[in-house]
Chains A and B, each alone.
Chain A
């Protein structure tokens, strides 16, 4: 009975995933593609939950299903309207038939490669090796959630570089954009939502940050939730989306990578090696790094949403802009 139910559930989820992916690719306008993509993100989160991977499900729910939709819709809004018909029935206009073939072949090859890697990893007799190593060293990491232990301690270097990638992307956006952030209309729905949604989002962000030490959660999820609070603020007519202006904003932008590098250099100069935390303080240091990483990620995502830095002068009352 139970195995049968699980197979039914799996088949239904796979059908939903494939249907949505196909529809998103074949939609007549980019706007409809985005809506289908939001639904696709949601079903992906469901699939990760079913596969007993709450960490991935959480990241997908926070970033894939939630914030990316708002980011994409706003990006589309700032494009010339005729461009939203880029996707026609014949596929991408720029690539033509051969372009489509090339894309299909390369994507299929990548998919096959990933499939082979998964199959190889599952059949490999030593596949439990890394998970076992993390498990046996977990007590040394200062946290009890193995994912956080890997991301912020054992492989902290990777997370540092991820923050650097985010910062590089933000610098690219800021150097291209400009003047859009002040364009801000007051949405009555968003204004009434702001009163209760923003505090809830900030509270949940804090909870995610704290819970990351011993359960799924962490800086990226918390940052995405904080960024969502900023997006709501902006939709409700706050042109600066709750962000500070000027130097404070710049400091926040680099704070994640800044605190990471400071820690790294401190442990390095202390003779322990780059980012090798002293074991006694590891938990506190990880929380400190995650706190600033959360702020930096939130600021980065909000600025991605705005497309440029908010204006230096203070906006007086909410929604006074045309």
Chain B
């Protein structure tokens, strides 16, 4: 069982790195922000897996905080782009 979790962990980390390609190469801020959110979701999953593998329940709290705060950045971002159009 731990092996399966570990494998899932590596696969998720690999998708995270693949997800970085549009992040690094894209020229559009919106695309980058969306990719950052995707990475956020990926990261939350990865931390939850690590919490199981390393047997550290405290990491679940880390995932909780990440999931809650990832929203703030995207809302601040959308507001910023809306504000620039109006200004």
**Chain A residues near B (Cβ < 8 Å):** 1-2, 5-6, 8-9, 12-13, 15-16, 19-20, 22-23, 28-29, 31-32, 35-36, 38-39, 42-43, 45-46, 49-50, 52, 54-55, 57-58, 61-62, 65-67, 69-70, 73-74, 76-77, 81, 185, 187, 189-190, 193, 197, 200-201, 204, 208, 211, 215-217, 221, 224-225, 228, 231-232, 235
Contacts and interface: CB of A to CB of B under 8 A. Distances in A.
B50 A50 contact: yes
A204 B64 contact: yes
Given A20-B20, A189-B75, A201 B58 contact: no
A216 B58 contact: yes
Interface of B: 2-3, 6-7, 9-10, 13-14, 16-17, 20, 23-24, 27, 29, 32-33, 35-36, 39-40, 43, 46-47, 50-51, 54, 56-59, 61-62, 64-66, 68-73, 75-80, 82-84, 86
- Chain B contact residues: over half helix, strand or loop, or mixed? helix
B27 to A, nearest CB: 7
Q: Is the interface of A mostly helix, strand, loop or mixed?
A: helix
B11 to A, nearest CB: 10
Contacts of B65: 58, 61-62, 66, 204, 208, 221, 225
Contact of B76 (A12, A13, A221, A235): A235
A2 B16 CA distance: 20
A215 B60 CA distance: 12
